[in-house]
């Protein structure tokens, strides 16, 4: 699923920004430090050995861990949540330097869409890899910025915690299978049509989510639902023509999951598309660009950024040797835009979408997350993003 | 109702206008008292506020602070705090006291914080530029590359400076400076060049004015200032819903006894408590000025009553009740009080500006860095000032109103002399006066420790009461004694003078009291200042014996600011010019809630060359020789008084090697700080505290070596890159004296005010005295007295009055001086002073007052004598 060329997701704007920044930084590392050792952080071994692959990949310029999901409490109150951790390398570590001189910076976003009360709130964090306060383990999944954290427990479940203006979220996420889904061989995900840049991309598209959520000033209420987890890292490098991307992470009621990642250029044309369908049995069917048709149905203009986001979609999937699947998707709430001036400095839309899928006359419900980047401000996502508050 | 008001206006207000001069005098009296009180109080308040703000600024509103003052924390401590990250914001912080290099530039603090994540700088640091754009606006922001913006925050050459401090730093730069956006900050003895990045003042508004703070990220801070691996403190702000107390307990349990966890303002609170005594001292002194003002008002009001006796008695005869009479006099007092209060507050505000510089220098000298903040005239201050005005007018009016009520309805019709029936109740007065004087003496003989507070007030009040009560008997006695010589020397004027003085003793003694009180206050304050000067001079002369003193250039206030490496010791000792080197370390420590200094020096050097005056007058040298390698300590007198410490007792101190007990060997006299010192030997200190840094080097030069040569050699030995200050002993002694002078500058100012009020009261009473006795003068003239005789008699009377006032004032002043020196000062600062009398100053003032009294009496006397007798007698 998600995985077109460049960095997908919210990470993408950031990624793009970071990538360029990184190039500059690497060449002018503070204190004239020597460049990092000739170790390839993108090696396949560190992507395929678990649990090591879950951990951070120091040396890789960019990395993120991404959780989106939809859950409801016993009263039937439904909510969508997004919690993302980004790691960005700033400079190589220098011997004798302060432990506070960051090799890596960490950013995090936490957004909540209350589908019952119909509101959207988000918060953000920034931190540096240092003595404490922020960091990630490189042997297993354990990433944190102050009290926001995502950690893999010994039983293979993920523990997610975030607290901020949306409220306090504490979830246990259980994957259906221990090993994450690979959208390409050795988790490789090309980020351009020519394959010159790529990332390693791993997903748990369907996690059983259980835990609690406490709205601000409210007591914690139990929550049950399902979630999507992505982990992706790359060594930077971006297609200068890229203007942004659209990402779909969808769960069909029948048990299948769909990921589509599309990169756009400035004129809005698709420069690269990548996707896949995860069958009920866990098998992944890859989707080629010509097997996916994306048609925007409706746009929403943000009063803050002025960006016009396509928040209603018709998606047609035509896998070979299988019936066509037609999906109709609509944002559960129009305003699910994040202006992340205090962390990644990227303005993007990421929110709950709902709809139905029709396959050979049979209809099933669909829910999931849609990410739209590069719509706020000119240029490619990241550098051009103008957080306008 | 309306008619009654008309009457009030006619009888109450008209006289105000008619005797505009006297009314003005009363008004000035009240206003002066209020102004001094309000002015001093405002100045003290704003300087203490600025200090408090400074001390609290760094707290940023956090609820708890984890620290190990005076030691640093290992940054790894944060790892042990990780379990609390969900419950609280943890804010690691480093601190450096800096001073702009440019010619005694402003002192400020550089804080090392996590510039990208610390909530305390959120909204102030460029990283959040986007966030600073007003909500709802769609204006473009810095946008762009997040990492480039973040990277700038870790730049070791950029100091983030809130705009007010940036302005201050720029203003202090020499005009020739080329790069306007960079400064050199001196930390310790080293210069650090920084580019200034202006930021908005962090939330907490005021702080940046009072507490100049600049920010550096933790990483560049540790790297540039050589603090790798260290933190000074960690502020902890519990998240909403987390109880700070239980969080504190949990953290304490996790960190065991390694560190202290307390509200960040704890240090400020401790200092504030100590500043409290200073403020109390100032208040006591300024309250005295209120008393002087009150006397002036009393005097003027009483004159009014006496002059209007016939008017009052006519009113009473016409049926006016006592209440109306009281109201008539009262209204004058009330209006004067109200106007005087308002005027006083306004004058006080102006006075505060002047006093502020004096007061905040002292706060900086003695307690902590603070830069003055503009005095803030609050509603409370207005209320206080006006009510003080009204209250002092009310107190001042009490006597006159009683006097007015005593006027009998038909008095005017009789040929009763207004001053005729005078009962003295002299024995009773003398008894009470003696009792008050005894109380004051008893207090002087039984001084208590610091912080008792009220005893100083009581003692001062008792001394002044004794003088006031003794005024009439004393004046009467003086007049009686003077009768014979006066008669002999200037008969008949002399006889007349003595007779009328005795006859009018009741009224005249009020003037005597006013004069004596003003004079006594000047005397008392001057003797406090003089005692200080004499004592500190002697102390500085005998104790500060090293030839040269080396301190870091960045030091702006506290002796604990800035350090130098221990390695200089050997280099300095090796100089051929140098006989001995003492390396002295000063740190701030808390002892039982008091923030004092821990000093560690080489006691062998001190024993060889120095002199340490002990309170019990023992020889310090043998004791000093016992200090090395032993857990023994000396404590300074203010600390001993505050903590009630004595030789033989043990003092517990927290050290990095655990809590140790130190035996107190002796208490020594020290006037350099009222916060107090604990002195250890350097060997003991290094072993227990694991710290070898040096705050001050004291050099003893070989005989015959000029100080300038020694200073040059020392500077060479230290190296040209080190920004140090080499001071010779004479300069140090001067500095000590300067600090003391500054400490008492306010007292000096009050003294001048008191002297001015004394002069005013002499002028006022004598002018009134003559005016109220026109009829009497007319009678004298009618029976043949010449104008010259009349004038001479009046002048002699004035001389008698002034003489008694000054004599009794001197006695009262001695008593007051004793109270100020031995009780109030001791309670405020803990210093023992030798009582010294300000003979010269008081003698000059006495002469001036005496001459002023005569000069004041002369014009009205001549005018009165010039009025034709018939006219004078008919115009009662």
Q: Which of A167-171, B485-489, B493-497, B830-834 has the highest mean pLDDT?
A: A167-171
User: Per-residue pLDDT averaged across B166-170, rounded?
Assistant: 80
Best probe of the A interface among B147, B239, B242, B254, by most A CBs < 10 A, is: B147
For residue B129, pLDDT beyond 60: no
**Angle, alpha carbons A309-A310-A316 (nearest 5°):** 155
Asked if the Cβ–Cβ distance from A133 to B85 is below 8 Å, we say yes
**Stretch B566-585: mean pLDDT, rounded?**
91
A2-26 average pLDDT score: 42
Contact list, B220 vs chain A (CB under 8 Å): 98, 101
Q: Show residues of chain B in contact with A344, CB under 8 Å.
A: 146
- The minimum CA-CA distance between B101 and chain A, rounded to whole Å, is 26
Rounded CA gap, B171 and B196, in Å?
14
Which of B77, B84, B91, B117 to probe by mutation at the A interface, max A CB count within 10 Å? B117
How many beta-carbon contacts under 8 Å exist across A and B? Answer: 151
Report CB contact under 8 Å: B78, A133: yes
pLDDT tops 70 at residue B6: no
Q: Closest-CA residue in chain A for B223?
A: A98
- Please report the pLDDT score of residue B368 as a whole number: 57
Residues B35-55: what's their mean pLDDT? 73
Q: Is B117 on the interface with A (CB under 8 A)?
A: yes
Lowest-confidence range among A152-161, B9-18, B614-623, B790-799? Answer: B9-18
Q: Considering only residues B41 and B634, tell me which one the structure prediction assigns the higher pLDDT.
A: B634
To the nearest whole Å, the CA of B152 is away from the closest chain A CA by 10
A131 contact residues in B (CB cutoff 8 A) = 75-76, 78-79, 92
B256 contacts chain A (CB < 8 A): no
Share of residues in chain A with pLDDT > 70 (%):
85
- Cα separation of A273 and A289, whole Å? 5
Q: Provide, rounded to the nearest whole percent, the portion of chain B with pLDDT above 90.
A: 13
Chain A contact for B145 (CB, 8 A cutoff): yes
What pLDDT shows up at residue B145? Answer: 55
Question: Would you call B138 and A132 a contact, using CB atoms and an 8 Å cutoff?
Answer: no
Tens of pLDDT, residues B831-865: 788 888 888 888 988 998 888 888 877 887 787 77
Q: Is the pLDDT of residue B4 over 80?
A: no
CA of B246, closest CA in chain A: separation in Å? 19
- pLDDT value for B210: 53
Give the pLDDT band (50/70/90) at residue B797. Answer: confident
**CB-based burial label for B194 (10 Å; 0-12, 13-18, 19+):** buried
Average pLDDT score over chain A:
83
Which of B146, B151, B155 is the best residue to mutate to test the A interface, defined by the most A CB atoms within 10 Å of its own CB? B146
User: Tokens 């709130």 appear where?
Assistant: A121
Mutate to test the interface with B, among A127, A131, A236 (most CBs of B within 10 A): A131
Q: What is the structure's pLDDT at A22?
A: 40
Nearest CB to B138; choose among A30, A146, A304: A304
Question: Measured between beta carbons, which residues in chain B are less than 8 angstroms from residue A382?
Answer: 145
DSSP-derived letter for residue B121 is: G
Q: In the prediction, which pLDDT does A12 show?
A: 45
Q: Is ipTM over 0.85?
A: no
Model confidence at B128: pLDDT above 60: no
Q: What mean pLDDT is reported for chain B?
A: 79
CB < 8 Å to B148, chain A:
21, 24-25
Q: What is the pTM of this model?
A: 0.67
Weakest mean pLDDT among A43-52, B419-428, B827-836, B862-871? B419-428
Give the pLDDT of residue B798: 85
Of the ranges A62-76, A212-226, B717-731, which one carries the lowest mean pLDDT score?
Answer: B717-731
**Pairing between β-strand B107-113 and β-strand A158-164 as defined by DSSP bridges:** unpaired
pLDDT category at B365 given cuts 50, 70, 90 is low
If one compares B559 and B614, the residue with the highest pLDDT of the two is B614
What pLDDT, on the 0 to 100 scale, is given for residue B154? 85
- Given a cut of 60, is residue B133 above it in pLDDT? no
The answer to whether B318 contacts chain A (CB < 8 Å) is no
Please name the helix (run of DSSP H) or strand (run of DSSP E) that holds residue B634, with its range, or none: strand B632-636
Write down the pLDDT at residue A31. 44
Q: Is the pLDDT of residue B137 over 50?
A: no
Give pLDDT, residue A19: 44
Provide the shortest C-alpha distance from residue B688 to chain A (in Å).
28
The confidence band for A349, taking pLDDT boundaries of 50, 70 and 90, is very high
pLDDT at B413: 59
On chain B, the residues whose CB falls within 8 A of the CB of A163 are 86, 239
Q: Is the pLDDT of residue B299 over 80?
A: no
Cβ of A126 and B127 within 8 Å? yes
Please tell me which of the candidates A105, A163, A386 has its beta carbon nearest to residue B150.
Answer: A105
Most confident range (mean pLDDT) of A169-173, B357-361, B765-769 is A169-173
Which of A101, A131, A388 lies at the smallest CB-CB distance from B76?
Answer: A131
The pLDDT, as a whole number, for residue B166 is: 83
Higher pLDDT, B426 or B148: B426
Q: Residue B108's beta-bridge partner residues? A: B98
Tokens of B659: 């809590």
Q: Given an 8 Å threshold on Cβ–Cβ distance, is A147 in contact with B86?
A: yes
The whole-number pLDDT of residue B204 equals 53
Segment A70-79 shows an average pLDDT of 94
CB nearest A341 (choices: B114, B141, B156): B141
Q: State the CB neighbour count (10 A cutoff) for residue B20.
A: 11
Residue % of chain B over a pLDDT of 70 = 81
| Residue that has been written with the tokens 């001084």 in this structure | B447
- Cβ contact A146–B85 (<8 Å): yes
Residues of B in contact with A106 (CB under 8 A): none
Is B239 part of the contact surface with chain A (CB cutoff 8 Å)? yes
Q: Provide the pLDDT for residue A10.
A: 43
pLDDT band at B738 (very low <50, low <70, confident <90, very high): confident
Residue B360: its pLDDT value, please?
A: 67
User: B149 at the A interface (CB within 8 A)?
Assistant: yes
Q: How far apart are CA B524 and CA B814, in angstroms?
A: 6
Per mean pLDDT, which range of A234-248, B135-149, B270-284, B801-815 is the poorest? B135-149
Least confident piece of the model among B64-73, B78-87, B385-394, B451-460:
B451-460
The model's confidence at residue A284, banded by pLDDT at 50, 70 and 90, is very high
B85 → closest Cβ in A22, A131, A147: A147
Distance (Å) from the alpha carbon of A340 to chain B's nearest alpha carbon: 9
Q: How far is A131 from chain B (nearest CA, A)?
A: 6
- Using an 8 Å CB-CB cutoff, list chain A residues near B151: 21, 25, 30, 90-91
Taking CB atoms and an 8 Å limit, are B117 and A25 in contact across chains? no
Q: Which residues of B touch A341 (CB under 8 A)?
A: 128-131, 133, 141
The tokens describing A226, both together, are 């399902």
Q: Closest CB to B128: pick one of A17, A98, A341.
A: A341
**Residue of higher predicted confidence among B854 and A49:** A49
Residue B241, class by beta-carbon neighbours within 10 Å (0-12 exposed, 13-18 middle, 19+ buried)?
exposed
pLDDT in tens, A86-121: 888 877 777 888 888 888 888 899 999 999 999 999
- Binary contact (B146, A128; C-beta < 8 A): no
Q: Categorize the per-residue pLDDT at B147 as very low, low, confident or very high, splitting at 50, 70 and 90.
A: low
A88 to chain B: which residues are within 8 Å by CB? 147
pLDDT category of residue B771 using cuts at 50, 70 and 90: low
| φ, ψ of residue B295 in degrees (nearest 5) | -60, -40
A345·B149 Cβ contact <8 A:
yes
**For residues B471-494, average pLDDT:** 85
Is A25's pLDDT higher than 70?
Answer: no
pLDDT tens digits, B675-699: 789 999 999 999 998 888 899 999 9
Average pLDDT value for residue range B527-553: 84
Task: Look at A377 and B606; give whichever has higher pLDDT.
Answer: B606
The three-state secondary structure class of B607 is helix
pLDDT class for B211, splitting at 50, 70, 90?
low
Residue B434: pLDDT band with limits 50, 70, 90: very high
Q: Confidence class of residue B331 from pLDDT cuts 50, 70 and 90?
A: confident
Burial readout B785-803 (b: 16 or more C-beta within 10 A, e: otherwise): beeebbbbbbbbbbbbbbb
Q: What's the 3-state SS for chain A?
A: CCCCCCCCCCHHHHHHHHHHHHHHHHHCCHHHCCCCCCCCCCCCHHHHCCCHHHCCCCCCCEEEEEEEEEEECCCCCEEEEEEEEEEEECCCCCCCCCCCCCCEEEEEEEEEEECCCCEEEEEEEEEECCCCCEEECCCCCEEEECCEEEEECCCCCEEEEEEECCEEEEEEEEECCCCCEECCHHHEEECCCCCCCEEEEEEEEEEEEEEEEECCCCCCEEEEEEEEEEEEEECCCCCCCEEEEEEEEEEECCCCEEEEEEEEECCCCEEEEEEEEECCCCCEEEECHHHEEEEEEEEEECCCCCCEEEEEEEEEECCCCCCCEEEEEEECCCCCEEECCCCCCCEEEEEEEEEEEEECCEEEEEEEEEEEECCCCCCCCCCCCCCCC
Give yes or no for B431 touching A (CB within 8 A).
Answer: no
Task: Say whether B137 and A24 touch across the interface (CB within 8 A).
Answer: no
- Mean per-residue pLDDT, B393-406: 80
Report which of residues B375 and B611 the model is more confident about. B611
Per residue in A208-262, pLDDT (tens digit) is: 999 999 998 889 999 999 999 999 998 776 667 778 889 999 999 999 999 999 9
pLDDT category of residue B207 using cuts at 50, 70 and 90 = very low
């Amino acid at each position: 699923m998600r995985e077109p060329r460049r960095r997908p997701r919210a990470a993408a704007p950031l990624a793009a920004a970071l990538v360029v920044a990184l190039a500059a930084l690497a060449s002018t590392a503070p204190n004239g430090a020597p460049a990092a050792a000739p170790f390839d952080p993108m090696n396949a071994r560190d992507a395929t050995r678990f649990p090591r692959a879950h951990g951070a990949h120091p040396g890789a310029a960019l990395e993120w861990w991404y959780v989106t999901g939809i859950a409801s409490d016993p009263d039937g109150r439904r909510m969508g949540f997004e919690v993302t951790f980004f790691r960005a390398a700033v400079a190589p570590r220098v011997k004798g330097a302060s432990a506070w001189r960051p090799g890596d910076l960490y950013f995090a976003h936490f957004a909540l869409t209350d589908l019952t009360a119909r509101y959207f709130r988000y918060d953000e964090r920034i931190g540096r890899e240092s003595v404490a306060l922020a960091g990630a383990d490189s042997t297993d999944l354990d990433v944190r910025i102050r009290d926001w954290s995502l950690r893999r427990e010994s039983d293979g479940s993920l523990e997610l915690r975030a607290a901020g203006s949306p409220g306090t979220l504490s979830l246990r996420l259980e994957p259906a299978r221990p090993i994450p889904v690979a959208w390409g061989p050795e988790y490789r995900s090309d980020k351009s049509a020519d394959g010159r840049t790529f990332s390693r991309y791993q997903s748990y598209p369907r996690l059983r989510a259980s835990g609690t959520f406490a709205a601000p000033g409210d007591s914690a209420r139990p929550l049950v639902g399902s979630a999507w987890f992505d982990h992706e890292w790359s060594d930077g490098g971006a297609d200068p023509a890229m203007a942004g991307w659209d990402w779909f992470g969808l769960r069909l009621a029948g048990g299948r999951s769909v990921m589509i990642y599309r990169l756009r250029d400035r004129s809005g044309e698709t420069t690269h598309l990548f996707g896949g369908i995860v069958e009920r049995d866990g098998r992944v069917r890859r989707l080629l660009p010509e097997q996916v048709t994306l048609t925007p149905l409706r746009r929403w203009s943000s009063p803050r950024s002025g960006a016009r986001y396509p928040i209603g979609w018709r998606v047609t999937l035509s896998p070979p040797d299988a019936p066509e699947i037609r999906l109709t998707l609509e944002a559960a709430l129009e305003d699910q835009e994040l202006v992340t001036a205090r962390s990644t400095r990227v303005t993007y839309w990421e929110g709950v979408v709902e709809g139905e899928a029709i396959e050979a006359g049979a209809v099933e419900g669909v829910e999931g997350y849609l990410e739209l980047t590069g719509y706020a401000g000119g240029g490619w996502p990241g550098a051009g993003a103008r957080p306008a508050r | 109702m309306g008619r009654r008001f008309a009457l009030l206006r006619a009888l109450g207000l008209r006289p105000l206008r008619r005797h505009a001069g006297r009314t003005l005098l009363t008004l000035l009296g009240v206003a002066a008292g209020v102004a001094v009180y309000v002015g001093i109080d405002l100045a003290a308040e704003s300087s203490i506020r600025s200090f408090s703000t400074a001390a609290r600024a760094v707290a940023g509103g956090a609820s708890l602070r984890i620290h190990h003052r005076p030691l640093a924390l290992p940054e790894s401590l944060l790892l042990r705090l990780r379990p609390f990250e969900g419950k609280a914001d943890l804010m690691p912080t480093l601190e450096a006291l800096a001073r702009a290099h440019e010619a005694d530039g402003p002192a400020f603090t550089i804080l090392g914080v996590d510039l990208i994540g610390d909530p305390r700088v959120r909204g102030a640091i460029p990283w959040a530029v986007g966030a600073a754009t007003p909500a709802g606006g769609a204006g473009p922001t810095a946008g762009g590359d997040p990492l480039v913006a973040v990277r700038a925050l870790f730049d070791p050459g950029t100091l983030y400076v809130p705009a007010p401090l940036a302005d201050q730093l720029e203003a202090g730069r020499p005009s020739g400076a080329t790069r306007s956006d960079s400064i050199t900050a001196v930390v310790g003895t080293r210069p650090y060049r920084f580019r200034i990045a202006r930021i908005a003042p962090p939330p907490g508004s005021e702080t940046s004015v009072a507490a100049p703070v600049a920010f550096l990220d933790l990483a560049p801070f540790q790297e540039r200032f050589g603090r790798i691996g260290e933190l000074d403190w960690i502020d902890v702000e519990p998240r909403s819903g987390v109880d700070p107390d239980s969080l504190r307990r949990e953290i304490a349990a996790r960190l065991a006894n390694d560190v202290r966890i307390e509200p960040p303002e704890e240090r400020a609170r401790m200092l504030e408590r100590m500043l409290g005594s200073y403020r109390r001292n100032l208040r006591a002194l300024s309250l005295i000025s209120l008393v002087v003002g009150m006397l002036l008002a009393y005097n003027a009001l009483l004159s009014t009553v006496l002059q209007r006796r016939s008017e009052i008695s006519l009113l009473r005869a016409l049926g006016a009740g006592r209440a109306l009479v009281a109201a008539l006099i009262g209204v004058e007092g009330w209006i004067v009080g109200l106007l005087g209060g308002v005027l006083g507050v306004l004058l006080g505000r102006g006075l505060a500006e002047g006093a502020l510089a004096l007061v905040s220098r002292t706060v900086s000298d003695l307690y902590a860095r603070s830069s003055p903040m503009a005095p803030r005239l609050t509603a409370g201050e207005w209320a206080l000032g006006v009510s003080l005005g009204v209250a002092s007018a009310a107190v001042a009016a009490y006597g006159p109103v009683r006097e007015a009520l005593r006027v009998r309805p038909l008095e005017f019709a009789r040929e009763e002399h207004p001053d005729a029936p005078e009962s003295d109740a002299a024995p009773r007065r003398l008894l009470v006066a003696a009792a008050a004087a005894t109380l004051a003496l008893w207090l002087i003989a039984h001084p208590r420790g610091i912080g008792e507070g009220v005893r100083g007030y009581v003692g001062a009040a008792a001394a002044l009461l004794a003088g006031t009560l003794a005024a009439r008997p004393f004046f009467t006695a003086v007049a009686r004694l003077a009768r014979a010589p006066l008669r002999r020397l200037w008969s008949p004027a002399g006889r007349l003078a003595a007779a009328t003085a005795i006859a009018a003793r009741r009224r005249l003694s009020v003037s005597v009291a006013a004069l004596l009180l003003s004079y006594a206050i000047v005397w008392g304050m001057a003797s406090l200042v003089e005692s200080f000067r004499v004592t500190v001079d002697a102390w500085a002369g005998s104790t500060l014996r090293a030839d040269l003193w080396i301190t870091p250039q960045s030091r702006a206030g506290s002796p604990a600011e800035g350090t130098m490496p221990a390695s200089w010791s050997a280099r300095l000792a090796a100089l051929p010019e140098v006989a001995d080197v003492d390396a002295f370390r000063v740190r701030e420590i808390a002892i039982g809630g008091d923030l004092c200094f821990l000093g560690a020096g080489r006691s062998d050097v001190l024993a060889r060359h120095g002199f340490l005056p002990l309170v019990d007058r023992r020889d310090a040298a043998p004791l000093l020789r016992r200090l090395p390698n032993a857990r023994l300590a000396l404590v300074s007198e203010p600390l001993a008084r505050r903590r009630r410490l004595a030789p033989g007792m043990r003092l517990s101190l927290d050290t990095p090697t655990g809590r140790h007990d130190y035996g107190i060997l002796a208490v020594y006299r020290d006037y350099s700080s009222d916060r107090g010192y604990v002195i250890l030997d350097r060997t003991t200190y290094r072993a227990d505290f694991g710290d070898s840094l040096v705050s001050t080097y004291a050099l003893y030069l070989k005989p015959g070596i000029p100080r300038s040569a020694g200073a040059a050699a020392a500077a060479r030995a230290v190296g040209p890159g080190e920004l140090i200050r080499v001071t010779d002993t004479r300069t140090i002694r001067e500095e000590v004296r300067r600090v003391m002078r500054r400490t008492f500058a306010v007292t000096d100012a009050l003294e001048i005010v008191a002297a001015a009020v004394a002069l005013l009261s002499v002028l006022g009473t004598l002018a009134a005295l003559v005016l109220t006795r026109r009829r009497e003068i007319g009678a004298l003239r009618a029976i043949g007295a010449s104008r010259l005789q009349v004038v001479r008699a009046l002048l002699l009377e004035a001389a008698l009055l002034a003489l008694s006032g000054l004599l009794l004032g001197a006695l009262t002043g001695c008593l007051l001086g004793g109270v100020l020196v031995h009780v109030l000062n001791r309670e405020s600062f803990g210093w023992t002073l030798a009582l010294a009398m300000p003979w010269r100053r008081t003698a000059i003032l006495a002469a001036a007052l005496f001459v002023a009294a005569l000069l004041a009496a002369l014009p009205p006397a001549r005018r009165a004598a010039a009025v034709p007798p018939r006219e004078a007698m008919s115009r009662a």
